Amino acid sequence: MAYLNVRSTSPAHVPHSPALLAHKARRLRLTTGDARYAAPLELAAPLSLAARVRHTVTLPFRILMREPLLIVTTLYMSFLYGVMYLMFEAFPVVFEQGHHFSSGAIVSVFYLLIFHPRYEAAAARAAPESVAPEIRLELALWGAPLLAISFFWFGWTSYPSISYWAPMLSGVMMGFSVIWIFLALFNYIVDVYLFVAASALAANTVIRSIAAAGFPVSIFSSF
């Protein structure tokens, strides 16, 4: 499963333009002996350790506050993340208390598989140009409606009087849809914010984690 998830992210070698210019400038200095060749990256004033730490820590939040696209994506992913952790609490209530499953049997409900070859085909067709980030959203277009369907399905069939197969099958659909949405949106953020992707994902992770901590608290009032 881990292999398939890694494959679906379609890693590719994407050169960093400032670093390429710096490499080219060094090569020209060596071949020509002319020290005037210098790239903007080499001319930038070095930052102190405190300045670098301050820049690294605040950059994710500055990007988050200035980018409406990242705000919307982060809020949606935070909601999904909170729902996912809420379901981690809901499954034991439904299956252990309602259907008297053992904890070991519950774990098997979360096994998932995913593979997304269509992006690889699109990347091959577009080469050597890059693929539009929006193509990454294809999986999310399938996953978002399936998540809503599976969530209502689970809620409507979580009673002990209904066969455990009903909520279990809803969990399978929910698992696929969450993985599809997360893979799509993670890769979309990386493609859109390529040079600051780590900071964008860091801001996304902080908000998602807050949602994940808050949602499960309300689970027992739901049953």
Domain boundaries defined on the chain: 10-46, 48-217
Predicted confidence at residue 28, as pLDDT, reads 83
Predicted confidence at residue 98, as pLDDT, reads 53
Residues 110-132 have a mean pLDDT of 61
Predicted confidence at residue 111, as pLDDT, reads 35
Predicted confidence at residue 108, as pLDDT, reads 40
Higher pLDDT among residues 216 and 148, named by residue: 148
Query: 97, 145 in Cβ contact below 8 A?
Result: no
Predicted confidence at residue 4, as pLDDT, reads 45
CA distance 181 to 112: 13
- Token reading at 177: 């849809």
Distance of CA 202 to the CA centre of its chain: 11
Q: Tell me: pLDDT of 153 over 80.
A: yes
- Which value, to the nearest 10 degrees, does the dihedral of the CA atoms of residues 18, 24, 25, 27 take? 150
pLDDT for 175-223, tens place per residue? 788 888 888 888 888 888 877 777 888 888 888 888 777 766 665 555 5
pLDDT for 72-94, tens place per residue? 888 887 877 777 767 666 655 66
Predicted confidence at residue 115, as pLDDT, reads 42
pLDDT for 7-47, tens place per residue? 544 454 545 667 777 778 888 888 888 777 787 766 766 66
Write the CB contacts of 26 (distance below 8 Å, at least 6 apart in sequence).
none
Residues 170-179 have a mean pLDDT of 81
CA distance 211 to 206: 9
Q: Tell me: pLDDT of 67 over 60.
A: yes
CA distance 47 to 55: 10
DSSP states of the chain: -HHHHHHHT-------HHHHHHHHHHHHHHHH--TT---HHHHSPPPPHHHHHHHHHHHHHHHHHH-HHHHHHHHHHHHHHHHHHHHHHHHIIIIIIIT---HHHHHGGG------HHHHHHHHHHTTSPPPGGGGGHHHHHHHHHHHHHHHHHHHT-STTS-THHHHHHHHHHHHHHHHHHHHHHHHHHHHTGGGHHHHHHHHHHHHHHHHHHGGGGGGGG-
